[in-house]
Structures are given as C-alpha cells and as structure tokens.
C-alpha cells in the first residue's frame, strides 16, 4: 500500500497540473482572439526620413476612438511635434494618423484619439485583485507581431513612491503602453517597464481612468510642456511635504547621530572600506529612492538620495587626513540630463557653519530647469573639519524639486546631524 501511494502520488499531481496548464493556455488563446482588435501598434514617425523612430503599443478605451499608451512612447513627438508624427497600426495592417490629447508624465500615460475602425474597447476593472490571480498582457514586442503573455498579479510594488503592479510576466521592448487584463478581459493595468526575467511592472488602471476622465472633460491639451511642468511641480510638492511631516528615525554612525530610512519607498544599504593601502576606514550608508520620471531620452527627474560616510584613521597625521577628506569632498551626480538645453549650469556656494558644537564645511549647488519653471536639481555636501582623525561626510541630492521644498529638507537634514561626544 505504501509503494502504491509513492507511485500514484506523482501521477495524481501530473493529472491535476496538465489540465490546469491546458485550461490556462485555452484562456489565453480565447482572450487573444477576442481582444486583439482592440490593441494597436503606436509608431512615432520621423518626418524627414519617413521611417519609424519609436514603436510601442496602445489600446482602445472608448467606442469613439480614444486610445491609451505610455507617455515615454510618444515623448519625442511631445517635445518636437514639428519633426515627428503619430501613427497607429491596426491588427490587420491598416494604418492611420493619431492625435495626442492628454498626458500624465508622472505615471507615464498618454491619451490618443483616432477615427475609430470598430466600436469594441476595453472596460476597466478598478477593484483590488488578489495576489496570485492570473492576469494577461498584450503588445507588439520588437516590431514582430502582436502576442499575449500570461503571468500572475504579484501585488503592488512596495519600494516605490508610485503605485505599480508587480507582474510575473516578461514584457519586452515594443509592448510599452499595451493593456494588461484579468481573465474576463477587463483592464487592470498598462504595460510600463521590465524589471528582470519574469518580473515586469504595470501602471494600475485607476491612473488611466483618472487621466481619461480629465481628457474627456478638458479636451485636447494646447501646451504639453505646461502640463508636464504642472504635474512635476504638484508631484514633488506632495512628496516633500509628506516627507517633512514624518517623524524621521535616527541611527548612529561613528560618533554622530544621523537620519535613518526616511520613507518606505527608499532602499538603504551599507558597506565598509578598510583597505590598508588607503590608511583610513570608511563606513558607508546609502539611501536612494527607486523612482525616476521619464521626460525625454535626454532628461529624467524625480530622483532623491542621501549618503553618509564615517571616516577614521590612526595612521594619518592631521594634514594627511584632511587631504584624504578633501579628496572625497565631491558632490554626487545624477547624470539625469544629457543636454544643456534642458538645464542651466550649476551655481555653487561654500561656507563654514557650526552644528552641535562642531565646525562643518558645507557646499550647496543648484541648477534650474529651463522649460519647467520653479523646478531645480539641488545638491548638498558637508563634512566636519575640527577633528584630526575622524569626520562625517554627508551628501543629499534632489532632482525636480522646488527651492522652497529643497530649503526645508536641507534644514531638517542638517538639524538631525548630532555629534554625540
């Protein structure tokens, strides 16, 4: 009897699994046949050459021809409409012109309008899904052909300022802006990015629903740069005001008390450098936000980071130690802007201040966004200068922040650095 159970149990599992796999495949196949006419390829055409510059996916969300896609798919057209045009490709190969009506750069969404070829469209499922539920995604990867991918709803991404659905499926280039839906074919999200193998991210359908309502109410946007500026300013204002209202935790690093993890959306890690060749020890703590907002191929924003390094030495004299610290007294860099047409040059200021009975050297730098009034990249750097063998080196960096919020953050950041002896 025992042998019978050992032999039969794997077979029973196999009998259960195979029908489930067959059922999932049949569901995906049926959904593809039913929904493919509601999914489009979106193309950005370079007017000078007449060739494709960018491709993505989109899908119909109303009977009268409104389509949804990602902002990053259409961003080159947004910034240079004189050089690019918008085009859609239907599943049967039919092509036509598309008109951009509204955008949400914070959540990477865009609303297009076409002359409708048919009246079928996706309806929204705005209810919360259960973790592990089977969901599906469609799109046109690598300009090959339309396909469907199945995976599981794996909850919302925790370490993010923005709600994103974690999808256990593998999105590929060209699928950006395509629909993600449940087993009934109702929209639950929009393809946005790939994390790694079998890990991808979706924008929740509720964000698209909000943008679509705005587009129908306000009509076609006249100035997209104005929309980007307003969305970015509102987002950073909400983020920093919320951050500043929080009760920050404290941690010890060497002889200094510093800020701990400021928000659950940040990732923090540490390491120690104690190579004998450099004759000093550096204990590091780094914290980063995991989000960045795509503006164009040449510009991203919305990043935030802060770093601490406790530096000590028993082998360097005072002047040697100060030289090592001075060599490390350099600002971090976002590398978030490639062309100077987007930002001004950094303007920097250095001064010496007193904090908790110790002298500190502080450097602050700021540069303005040329197209988006009231937004800046801000860098802060400081180190204590009155000890011969130990110091704290601290950095903070903010991109796409207002002057007011950067000043308030810097005040709080400095106010929580306390020398303990």
pLDDT digits (tens, 9 = 90+) for 282-327: 999 999 998 899 999 999 999 999 999 999 998 899 999 999 899 9
Are 147 and 241 part of one and the same domain? no
Are 89 and 173 part of one and the same domain? yes
- Measured between its terminal Cα atoms, the distance across the chain in Å is 74
- 328 by Cβ neighbours in 10 Å (0-12 / 13-18 / 19+) ranks as middle
From the list 139, 26, 79, 97, the residue with the least C-alpha distance to 295 is 79
- Helices (H), ranges, 47-149: 71-79
| The two structure tokens encoding residue 15 | 């009998």
Are 305 and 389 part of one and the same domain? yes
Report the pLDDT averaged over residues 176-194.
92
Q: Is 282 part of a structural domain of the chain?
A: yes
Report the pLDDT averaged over residues 30-51.
93
Phi, psi of 55 (to 5 degrees): -130, 150
Domain boundary among 196, 222, 248: 222
- Average pLDDT across the chain, whole number: 89
Are the CB atoms for 348 and 364 separated by under 8 Å? yes
> Is residue 161 very low, low, confident or very high in pLDDT (cuts 50, 70, 90)?
confident
Are 180 and 205 part of one and the same domain? yes
Pairing mode, if any, of strands 266-273 and 281-289?
antiparallel
Q: Is 7 part of a structural domain of the chain?
A: no
Strand, helix or coil for residue 364: strand
Residues facing residue 75 across a β-bridge: none
pTM over 0.85: yes
Domain boundary among 201, 222, 243: 222
d(CA 84, CA 78): 9
Are the CB atoms for 234 and 195 separated by under 8 Å? no
Q: Which residues of 191-207 are buried (b: 16+ CB within 10 A; e: fewer)?
A: bbbbeeeeebbbbbbbb
Q: Is 1 part of a structural domain of the chain?
A: no
Q: Is 4 part of a structural domain of the chain?
A: no
d(CA 271, CA 189): 38
pLDDT number for residue 2: 39
Are 209 and 240 part of one and the same domain? no
* Domain containing residue 146: CATH number: 2.40.10.120
Q: Is 235 part of a structural domain of the chain?
A: yes
Domain residues for the domain of 352 are: 230-419
pLDDT tens digits for range 322-369: 998 999 999 977 788 888 889 999 999 999 999 888 999 999 999 999
d(CA 138, CA 34): 12
Q: Which residues are CB-neighbours of 173 under 8 A, at least 6 positions away? A: 141, 142
Are 296 and 189 part of one and the same domain? no
pLDDT number for residue 198: 67
Are 32 and 125 part of one and the same domain? yes
Residue-by-residue DSSP string for 289-356: ES--EEEETTEEE--EEEEEEEEE-SSS-HHHHHHHHHHH--------B--TTSBPPPEEEEEEEEET
d(CA 278, CA 275): 6
Question: Has residue 27 got a pLDDT over 90?
Answer: no
Are 293 and 217 part of one and the same domain? no
Phi, psi of 202 (to 5 degrees): -125, 145
**Domains contained in the chain, number:** 2
Q: Is 43 part of a structural domain of the chain?
A: yes
Q: Is 381 part of a structural domain of the chain?
A: yes
pLDDT number for residue 3: 36
Are 155 and 287 part of one and the same domain? no
d(CA 273, CA 283): 6
Neighbours of 353 (CB within 10 A): 11
Are 294 and 203 part of one and the same domain? no
Domain boundary among 197, 222, 247: 222
Residue owning tokens 């100060």: 322
Report the pLDDT averaged over residues 26-41.
90
Q: What share of residues in the chain are helix, strand, coil (percent, to 5)? A: 25, 40, 35
d(CA 365, CA 188): 42
Handedness of CA 196, 203, 149, 215 (dihedral sign): negative
Q: Is 13 part of a structural domain of the chain?
A: no
Report the pLDDT averaged over residues 231-247.
95
- 53 by Cβ neighbours in 10 Å (0-12 / 13-18 / 19+) ranks as middle
Are 280 and 150 part of one and the same domain? no
Are 175 and 52 part of one and the same domain? yes
């Amino acid at each position: 009897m025992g042998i019978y159970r050992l032999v039969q149990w794997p077979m029973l599992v196999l009998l259960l699994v195979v029908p489930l796999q067959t059922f999932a495949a049949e569901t995906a196949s049926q959904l593809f046949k039913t929904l493919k006419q509601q999914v489009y390829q979106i193309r950005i055409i370079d007017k000078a050459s007449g060739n494709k510059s960018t491709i993505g996916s989109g899908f119909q969300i109303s009977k009268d021809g409104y389509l949804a896609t990602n902002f990053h798919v259409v961003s080159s057209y947004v910034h240079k409409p004189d050089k690019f045009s918008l085009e859609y490709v239907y599943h049967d190969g039919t092509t036509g012109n598309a008109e951009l009506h509204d955008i949400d750069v914070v959540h990477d969404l865009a609303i297009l309008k076409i002359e409708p070829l048919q009246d079928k469209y996706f309806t929204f499922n705005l209810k919360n899904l259960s973790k592990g539920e089977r969901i599906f995604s469609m799109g046109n990867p690598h300009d090959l052909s339309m396909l469907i991918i199945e995976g599981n709803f794996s909850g919302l991404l925790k370490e993010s300022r923005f709600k994103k659905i974690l999808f256990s499926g593998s999105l590929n280039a060209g699928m950006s802006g395509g629909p993600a839906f449940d087993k009934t074919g109702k929209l639950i999200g929009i393809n946005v990015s790939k994390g790694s193998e079998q890990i991808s991210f979706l924008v929740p359908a509720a964000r698209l629903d909000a943008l679509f309502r705005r587009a129908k109410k306000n009509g076609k946007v006249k100035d997209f740069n104005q929309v980007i500026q307003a969305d970015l300013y509102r987002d950073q204002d909400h983020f920093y005001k919320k951050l500043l209202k929080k009760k920050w935790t404290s941690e010890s690093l060497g002889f200094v008390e510093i800020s701990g993890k400021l928000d659950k959306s940040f990732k923090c890690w540490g390491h120690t450098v104690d190579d004998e060749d450099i004759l000093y020890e550096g204990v590091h703590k780094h914290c980063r936000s995991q989000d960045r907002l795509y503006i164009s191929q040449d510009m991203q924003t919305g990043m935030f980071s802060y770093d601490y390094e406790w530096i000590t030495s028993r082998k360097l004299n005072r002047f040697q130690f100060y030289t090592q610290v001075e060599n490390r007294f350099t600002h971090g860099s976002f590398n978030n802007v490639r062309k100077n047409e987007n930002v001004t040059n950094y303007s920097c200021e250095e001064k010496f201040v007193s904090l908790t009975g110790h002298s500190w050297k502080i450097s602050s730098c700021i540069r303005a966004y040329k197209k988006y009034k009231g937004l800046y990249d801000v860098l802060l750097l400081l180190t204590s200068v009155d000890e011969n063998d130990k110091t704290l080196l601290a950095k903070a960096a903010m991109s796409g922040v207002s002057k007011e919020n950067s000043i308030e953050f810097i005040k709080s950041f400095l106010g929580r650095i306390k020398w303990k002896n």
